[in-house]
Structure 1
């Protein structure tokens, strides 16, 4: 039986979760599709998701369609939870991109479509809401061609759009046409388009046919033929031969109701069995104590899982999102839809719960690594990274309801970066005052192109000192670049090692190793931090704040009102257009807005647009700040405090 892992992605409110529910109903998993409004959907299982009517965490359901076992991954549509989408895309075989036939192509639709194209991920478009008043599939198909891809291929036509009787009429291709379309779809050279309605079910069976006929690979899993496909095979039968070692990718972490860790993996090769020992992320092997797969009734315990399945592991406790194990099978895709651009300090309402708050946030950070906890031991503060204000509200609810900790949040601030202005260098020689370390380190820092990362180069011989000391220099460099001159990170620069030297391992007569006479990795780690701090201070840095690209859909008659509001939020419009020819079509404004102004603009929008405006933003770039550069509190000892006053180093720096 073939396997196919498909993700459903969309702009918020395009009907993504409703489509997931209808698919599960058509596949026989659900007696009736759940409703987002009624709060009874299968995939939105969290109470908070049902109350708010949005998807917060990705969810998995499995079913069989014809000869294919389908793992269906429902992802969030709200841009504040784009990290969940990102993690899901990394393990998919294909995607369904949902577009509303009423609202058309929206800003988050563009973000997702571009990501799918970059990944070369086979994609089927589902134009939803055909039964809704205002549905215009021809207009939306034209938008798809203009704004998403010129390679969209409709697989049928629509009858009576905009009415409850709207129907999808699929074309009947010849065998040759089907084979050609299958080849091009699997190669992501074309994107088939199916029209339908998640509410009425129109077009949904045709969507499933398109996925299984055009996208699914021919490779088979070990489900025996003749098994009832609507009751998934447990795959717990024993094999007489030795099984191929498992390979896979961790894409989600969660906790059971009892608090035990659940590790979601996509098995990309071999066979995974209970009691296997896995080197997850290259760390110490850990034993798998339990395995579960998704079936019609939810999770079911099994003894083994074969290639292509999504499984929930119990046992490994060090796994992190993005980790891999094994060497066979497919590799996870590297996906990046945008980094968090905001942060806030979280305080417990009850000071006595500070330890409990940190433990709870640590658990949330395991599930969502981009929360990126920063702990300032000196001030006892914990900061978390955010995509937006909705995410802050969700974190507060999780803390209160799941961990019993009431938390308050300080005002949200943008996460800036520092860019190196020019080249700067510094060095300290071993046994030459004021250097307190048994090491020689010289470093030159230079600007580098945006997005190039940190490059460490050598102008000394690689054999001039042990590899462990070069590794320690790199650790010291990374530590200083995490919190640079003004406390912000330096994401892009070139650091060159210009000087190196050390004392080899020495011992006093009739004594053991004497660290006062011999260089250690700690010497190089600490000295590299100080030397790079001096080099950065000489080079100079400029603080740059995050800027989002926005798309704002507003009624045409209110464009002037909205344009007048944008300067109050430091937003700069670059383009105004009206997709389509209808007099009622919304105008689309696009431009740049500082990350810390997005929430304020979003709050003003309903008042300015009669509640009809839709704002979507995504982090686009960083721009130099005007006025005094903002400073960020440090979580690590401050090496810049020592620059220019090396005599203080021995007294205040944790040298060895």
Structure 2
């Protein structure tokens, strides 16, 4: 069984340390790295090591009790939340890490809203319970009041063959058929477990665990129970379909499209089709890569449920549906600021623009614009930390020194009620009168 799991958290909640522990117990890595030691497996970019935060959504792979897991460690800082949101699209399950010492933080709520928007089954993990003063009960109350009432706290007493009475009752309350059996004293462990798994999958209930990633408390127990409570049902038969969730350019300038296979199978030398019916694009797959951290292995064929990468696809874009699927949706995390790129006037502006177009392909939120009249490059950002990272990224990748002008805030305005306007025109002896009626639409429809 193939499962894609994503780890999400407010910055400094211990997300990357948690990912290291999971990869260690999955025997994907031999030693557990640490963010403060700058040796974590997935934060392998120099910018991430220097800043001590996750900037890019990278994946690790491990096998556990017969299942293959694709683990995605997402950025926790809000400035890089667009990268995180794109990764959510391919998750089968999300693990929302909560800092036990801080409780529910602002970005924790944003992450929860995104997980609900995309209907991703979610597990909570209260981290840092080893800290002095941490009260698990207090955090559970915050989850109840700020996130959801439909969560269940899972303790060590739960396993595949045994459920504590409190959990049995919680599951029964969610379903009328189970409730009747429970009241009649007809508890069946297999029925309850299967029902619980389905309820999690259908976003009806949300399991909650606790521990300490840094001190290795409760991690293996979480992984055992997570494995028991999760499943996927991808179909290898039928037409291939997939989703491009990430694009990167490697050191040689080769475009790498990272894809989640959603149905069917794909082989080397097969053609991938995408785009609408009128502008259908066909490109041949010459190579299939499976990434684990910053390294990859080659594969001849992939099946539904796998995360893979294909080099040198020319027209693919982040958010592109491939094959049999062709859906549209809007991202929630959008830029709120814009800034001007400042560079040496001796440089070729077209060359500089080309580099920023590459960065825009990797992160469409940048929305790079060339102002012909002013001869300036403008881009959109979510926060100022993003500019600091971009400055270093441009220097590392393109050996180009740039700076950025003051940030300007985007303002969005809309009308509150309908109105009618009109005007008349008399060009060259002709007469025309135009009446225009404006009415507010449903929020988000425009």
Task: Give the TM-score normalised by structure 1.
Answer: 0.59
Task: Name the counterpart of 2:338.
Answer: 343
Matched, 1:18 2:17: yes
Matched, 1:101 2:90: no
Whole-angstrom CA distance in 2 between matches of 1:345 and 1:21: 38
Task: Name the counterpart of 1:319.
Answer: 316
* Structure 2 counterpart of 1:416, from 408, 411, 416: 411
Within 5 A, what are the aligned runs for 1:70-85?
Answer: 70-85=69-84
Whole-angstrom CA distance in 2 between matches of 1:178 and 1:434: 81
Moved more, 203-212 or 259-268: 203-212
2:393 aligned counterpart, secondary structure: helix
* Structure 2 counterpart of 1:270, from 238, 246, 264: 264
Task: Name the counterpart of 1:559.
Answer: none
Task: Name the counterpart of 1:258.
Answer: 252
Task: Name the counterpart of 1:214.
Answer: 229
* Structure 1 counterpart of 2:438, from 427, 442, 446: 446
| Structure 1: runs of 5+ lacking an equivalent | 158-168, 222-242, 455-656
- Contact 1:90/1:334 (CA < 8 Å) preserved in 2? no
1:124-166 CA distance string (max 9 Å, x none)? 1111112222322121112111111111101106xxxxxxxxx
Cα shift at 1:414: 0.5
Matched, 1:391 2:386: yes
- Contact 2:234/2:263 (CA < 8 Å) preserved in 1? no
Task: Name the counterpart of 1:188.
Answer: 203
2:275 aligned counterpart, secondary structure: helix
Change in CA separation of 1:441 and 1:252 when aligned onto 2, cut-off 3 Å: farther
Whole-angstrom CA distance in 1 between matches of 2:221 and 2:371: 55
Task: Name the counterpart of 1:248.
Answer: 242
Matched, 1:281 2:275: yes
Whole-angstrom CA distance in 2 between matches of 1:403 and 1:24: 33
Cα shift at 1:285: 0.9
1:177 aligned counterpart, secondary structure: helix
Task: Name the counterpart of 2:144.
Answer: 145
Task: Name the counterpart of 2:124.
Answer: 125
Whole-angstrom CA distance in 1 between matches of 2:424 and 2:261: 49
Whole-angstrom CA distance in 1 between matches of 2:283 and 2:243: 15
Cα shift at 1:175: 3.3
Change in CA separation of 1:48 and 1:350 when aligned onto 2, cut-off 3 Å: farther
Cα shift at 1:426: 5.7
Whole-angstrom CA distance in 2 between matches of 1:261 and 1:387: 25
Within 5 A, what are the aligned runs for 1:608-647?
Answer: none
Whole-angstrom CA distance in 2 between matches of 1:297 and 1:343: 31
The alignment's C-alpha RMSD in Å is: 2.5
Matched, 1:33 2:27: no
Cα shift at 1:115: 2.0
Matched, 1:177 2:172: no
Task: Give the TM-score normalised by structure 2.
Answer: 0.86
1:93-133 CA distance string (max 9 Å, x none)? 11000011111111111111122223322111111112222
Change in CA separation of 1:200 and 1:427 when aligned onto 2, cut-off 3 Å: farther
Matched, 1:303 2:297: no
| Structure 2: runs of 5+ lacking an equivalent | 164-188
Question: Size of the alignment, in residue pairs?
Answer: 413
Task: Name the counterpart of 2:178.
Answer: none
Whole-angstrom CA distance in 1 between matches of 2:364 and 2:295: 26
Whole-angstrom CA distance in 1 between matches of 2:341 and 2:294: 39
Whole-angstrom CA distance in 2 between matches of 1:423 and 1:33: 65
- Contact 1:90/1:332 (CA < 8 Å) preserved in 2? no
- Contact 2:288/2:300 (CA < 8 Å) preserved in 1? yes
Task: Name the counterpart of 2:133.
Answer: 134
Matched, 1:110 2:104: no
Whole-angstrom CA distance in 1 between matches of 2:333 and 2:21: 30
Whole-angstrom CA distance in 1 between matches of 2:78 and 2:92: 23
Whole-angstrom CA distance in 1 between matches of 2:320 and 2:72: 19
Cα shift at 1:444: 3.0
Query: Which is bigger in relative contact order (C-alpha 8 A, separation at least 6)?
Result: 2
- Contact 1:255/1:261 (CA < 8 Å) preserved in 2? yes
